[in-house]
Copies of this chain bind each other. A is one copy, B any other.
C-alpha cells in the first residue's frame, strides 16, 4: 500500500502542510517511524517525541502543527484520523468469497451473496447469513441464527442456536455466544438446571474480542446494543443488557440480569454483580467490584493501590483491625471532649 501525502490528506479530509508528492506506505509510532511512515500525535505526553521522529508525516492537532519536523496532516481529532488511516493501510489477508468444500452448511441455511465460509466451518439449520460476511475456519453456528451484513466471525468462534447479530459485527476467535446461562435451583444438595430459553441479540457495529463468553438469556434475551466494544476474556452472563456505545475491557465480567447503561466504560478485570442497574456514563476502574446499583454517572473504584509487599502486609493487617481502630478513635475523642 503506497500513496502520496496528497492522496492521504484527501482521503482522510485533512489539511496537509508539506510536500504532497511524498510517498508513504505505512503507519508507525513517532518513536519507531521510518521515512515513508506516517505517524500521529494524540496523547500530549508524547509531544516531545515530535522533534526526533523520522516519520514522513505526522497527524496532529492544529496547535501542534508547527512542532512537526516533516509534513503535518492537521486534524480536529488526530486519534480518529489515525484510526481512519489504519483502515487505509490495513494488510489483513483478503478472504475469497464462497463456501469452502470442507465446510458443512445445512441445506436450510440461507447464505447471501459474497459470503466467505472458510474451511471446516459448520452452519446450522435455518441460519441466515448476510451479504459480505466472513465465517472463519472451524467456526460453528447453531441453528436459527441470523447474522446481518458484513459481519466477520474469525476462526473457531461458536454461536449457539437463536443468536442474532446486526450488521458489521466482528467476533474474534474462541468466543462463545449463546451458551447456557448459569441458572440452577438448589434442592437437597442437587442443582436443578434451569433451561435457558432465551437467546442473544447483538446490535450493529459491535466488536467482541477473543475467548469471551456471552450467555443466552434464561427467559428473554441477553442484549448488546449498537456500537458496543468488548475485549478478550470477558464474561457477559444471561440476561445482561449492555447499553449503546459502552466498552468492556479484558477480563471484565458482568453477572446475570444486570443492566449497564449507555456510554459506560468498564476497565480490565472489573466485575459487576448480578441484578444491578448501572446508569449511563459510568466509568468503572480496573479490577473494581461493583455490588450495588449506580444511579449517578461518574467514575467508581474499589480495592487498594499497589505497595511493596512488606508495607502491604502491615496495611493489610491493620485493615482487619479497622473497626476497632475507629471505635478507639471515637473513645479518645469522647475523653478529649470530656476533658476540654
Interface set of A (CB-CB < 8 Å, partner B): 26-29, 32, 42, 77, 79-80, 82-84, 86-87, 89-93, 100, 102, 104, 118-120, 122, 124-125, 136-138, 140, 142-144, 154-156, 158, 160-161, 170, 172-176, 179-180, 182-185, 187, 189-197, 205, 207, 209-213, 215, 218-220, 227, 229, 231-233, 235, 237, 244-245, 247, 249-251, 253, 255, 263, 268-269, 271, 273, 283, 285-292, 294, 298-323, 325-326, 328-329, 332-333, 335-336, 340
Contacts and interface: CB of A to CB of B under 8 A. Distances in A.
B302 A29 contact: no
Given A89-B195, A209-B180, A318-B326, A233 B233 contact: yes
Contacts of A303: 289, 302-304, 316
Given A176-B232, A232-B237, A317-B323, 10 more contacts: A86-B194, A86-B218, A119-B122, A190-B205, A235-B251, A250-B253, A269-B269, A269-B289, A298-B308, A314-B323
A264 B132 CA distance: 45
Contacts of A273: 268, 286
A75 to B, nearest CB: 11
A140 B136 contact: yes
A125 B323 CA distance: 61
Contacts of A142: 93, 155
Given A122-B119, A250-B182, A309-B300, A271 B287 contact: yes
